[in-house]
């Protein structure tokens, strides 16, 4: 086990109706906030009005930044930074899923920074200060509601990049599983894949003697595997929505990485797909992860066999562990298919022609390689993407 530092200061308030606490929670931090949200569903459902009422009731002034899209754009981050500066705003309240939260986080570090906000995502600068961020979560997927990371797309240069900083961990997250009941089946499935990917990126490690976090990872994966199909079959199943929403936070709050180095190669590859083709992150991960696994599993067959046995209930073939390992990968792929996700690039209408370009860009940000479990070069990334055509 590696040394580590860990805390989860984000105050999670979880359950039915907790969005009514928006004003009371914000009040502890600021009197003037920027309310960030996406498009139709938070408006149609009445959620945005309930949040506005809660802010009004506590006498909190607010301006609004709506229209945030999936794979959130730098342009809107810049707009938000300007609004905050011009209006002396001290707090960002994100109402939505990962894209909205990540936009708020990017604005939060950008406001007190003299340079351009994109610098943090190019690793030219490291954030030293940030406005506080709070969350009303509607989509369990990104885990951004209690994580230290944010991912933003720069459409000018077709790049999607991530930032990690303790400064952008939200102060609070109001998590009402009912708010996720209106998610369409495909988006619920994408969220499940994203949550599972956050766990699997941590699970596939070269660190030895990490039995406890292995088991916590397996517990989280089995929860999603059990709950996601039921939430898709019955969107108003509160208990399944609740399991997914809570597991989605734990999957990415860093508990599951304590004492171990993760991989993150599949995320790096998927970000290239999203940057060029604007695919849903979870759908891209469902395509990339099984392909990545088949490319690297011989690096540690025992770990993949453990994954197959403990997560998928595969019976261990003691005389042919590779067969067990491959069966686990097959089960993951079948599971993604069963909940309506693509597992091939062709299902995403992605042709082979720009694979070399994506492979090259993917390894640039890692200074020549992507991932840690196995360090992938551009040839590896291209082979993985080609195998997923």
d(CA 321, CA 306): 10
Indicate the residue among 5 and 114 with the shorter CB distance to a copy of itself: 5
Supply the DSSP symbol for 234: S
Per CB under 8 A, does 126 bind a copy of itself?
A: no
- What minimum distance in Å lies between the beta carbon of 58 and a copy of itself? 18
Q: Does 16 bind a copy of itself (CB under 8 A)?
A: yes
Segment interacting with a copy of itself, rule: CB under 8 A, options 35-43, 110-118, 240-248, 354-362: 240-248
Beta carbons within 10 angstroms of residue 229's beta carbon: 18
9 versus 46: smaller Cβ distance to a copy of itself: 9
The least distance separating a copy of itself from the CB of residue 197, rounded to whole angstroms, comes to 17
Question: From the CB of 278, what's the least distance to a copy of itself, in Å?
Answer: 32
Beta-bridged to residue 65, according to DSSP, are: 36
Give the integer Cα–Cα distance in Å for 63 and 43: 16
Q: Smaller CB distance to a copy of itself: residue 136 or 151?
A: 136
Q: Note whether 32 binds a copy of itself by CB under 8 A.
A: no
CA terminus-to-terminus distance, the chain: 38
Residue 389: CB atoms within 10 A of its CB come to 13
Written as six digits, the tokens of 65 are 């930044």
Tell me which stretch binds a copy of itself (CB under 8 A): 8-16, 88-96, 282-290, 317-325. 8-16
The CB-side HSE value for 27 (13 A sphere, CA atoms) comes to 13
Extract the tokens encoding 132.
């506080």
Q: With 0-12 CB in 10 A as exposed, 13-18 as middle and 19+ as buried, what is 319?
A: exposed
90 close to 134: Cβ distance less than 8 angstroms: no
Q: Binding of a copy of itself at residue 218 (CB under 8 A)? A: yes
Q: Assess 11 for contact with a copy of itself (CB under 8 A).
A: yes
Size of the site for a copy of itself (CB under 8 A): 40
The answer for residues whose C-beta is within 8 angstroms of residue 65's C-beta and 6 or more apart is 34, 35, 36, 37, 76, 79, 80, 83, 103, 107
User: 84 exposed, middle or buried (CB, 10 Å; 0-12, 13-18, 19+)?
Assistant: buried
The least distance separating a copy of itself from the CB of residue 173, rounded to whole angstroms, comes to: 10
Asked if 316 touches a copy of itself (CB under 8 A), the answer is no
Question: Judged by CB, which is closer to a copy of itself: 51, or 242?
Answer: 242
Q: Given candidates 195, 199, 242, 341, which one binds a copy of itself under the rule CB under 8 A?
A: 242
- Among the listed residues 43, 57, 82, 226, the single contact to a copy of itself using CB under 8 A: 226
The smaller minimum CB distance to a copy of itself, of residues 9 and 352, is found at: 9
Q: Closest approach of Cβ 168 to a copy of itself, in Å?
A: 16
Does residue 250 bind a copy of itself (CB under 8 A)?
yes
Q: How far apart are CA 272 and CA 161, in angstroms?
A: 9
Residue in 47, 92, 216, 283 binding a copy of itself, rule: CB under 8 A? 216
Cβ 48 to a copy of itself, closest distance in Å? 22
- Is the Cβ of residue 149 or residue 253 nearer to a copy of itself in the bound state? 253
In this structure, are residues 138 and 187 in contact, taking their beta carbons and an 8 Å threshold?
no
Nearer to a copy of itself, 11 or 354 (CB): 11
Q: Are 161 and 122 in contact (CB under 8 A)?
A: yes
**Using CB under 8 A, which of the segments 63-71, 206-214, 271-279, 375-383 binds a copy of itself?**
206-214
Nearer to a copy of itself, 239 or 357 (CB): 239
Structure token digits, residue 204: 């596939």
Contact 6, 63 (CB under 8 A): no
322 interacts with a copy of itself by CB under 8 A: no
Contact 107, 133 (CB under 8 A): no
Asked if residue 192 binds a copy of itself (CB under 8 A), the reply is no
The token pair that represents 233 in the structure block: 């079959």
> Binding residues for a copy of itself, per CB under 8 A?
1-16, 18, 208-209, 211-212, 215-216, 218-220, 222-223, 226-227, 238-239, 242-243, 246-247, 250, 255, 258-259
């Amino acid at each position: 086990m590696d040394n580590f530092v860990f805390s989860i200061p984000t105050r999670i308030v979880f359950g039915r109706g907790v969005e009514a606490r928006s004003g009371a929670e914000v009040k502890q931090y600021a009197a003037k906030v920027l309310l960030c949200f996406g498009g139709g569903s938070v408006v149609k459902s009445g959620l945005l009005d309930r949040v506005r009422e809660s802010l009004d009731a506590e006498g909190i002034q607010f301006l609004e930044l709506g229209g945030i899209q999936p794979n959130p754009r730098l342009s809107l981050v810049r707009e938000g930074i300007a609004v905050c500066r011009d209006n002396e705003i001290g707090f960002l309240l994100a109402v939505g899923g990962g894209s909205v939260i990540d936009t708020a986080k990017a604005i939060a570090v950008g406001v007190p920074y003299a340079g351009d906000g994109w610098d943090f995502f190019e690793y030219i600068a490291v954030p030293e200060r940030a406005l506080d961020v709070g969350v009303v979560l509607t989509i369990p997927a990104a885990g951004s509601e209690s994580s230290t990371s944010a991912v933003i797309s720069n459409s000018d240069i077709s790049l999607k990049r991530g930032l990690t900083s303790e400064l952008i961990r939200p102060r609070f997250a109001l998590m009402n599983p009912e708010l996720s009941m209106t998610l369409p089946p495909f988006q619920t499935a994408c969220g499940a894949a994203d949550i599972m990917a956050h766990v699997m990126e941590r699970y596939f490690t070269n660190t030895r003697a990490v039995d406890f976090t292995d088991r916590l990872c397996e517990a989280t994966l089995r929860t999603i595997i059990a709950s996601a199909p039921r939430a898709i079959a019955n969107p108003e199943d509160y208990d399944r929505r609740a399991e997914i929403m809570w597991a989605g936070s734990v999957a990415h709050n860093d508990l599951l990485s304590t004492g171990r180095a993760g991989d993150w190669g599949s995320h790096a590859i998927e970000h290239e797909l999203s940057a060029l083709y604007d695919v849903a992150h979870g759908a891209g991960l469902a395509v990339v992860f099984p392909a990545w696994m088949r490319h690297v599993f011989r690096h540690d067959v025992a770990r993949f066999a453990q994954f197959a046995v403990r997560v998928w209930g595969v019976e261990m073939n003691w005389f042919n562990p590779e067969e067990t390992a491959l069966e686990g990968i097959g089960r993951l792929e079948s599971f993604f298919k069963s909940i309506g996700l693509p597992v091939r690039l062709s299902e995403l209408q992605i042709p082979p022609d720009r694979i070399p370009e994506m492979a090259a860009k993917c390894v640039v940000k890692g200074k020549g390689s992507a991932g840690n479990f196995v360090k992938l070069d551009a040839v590896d990334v291209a082979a993985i993407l080609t195998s997923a055509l």
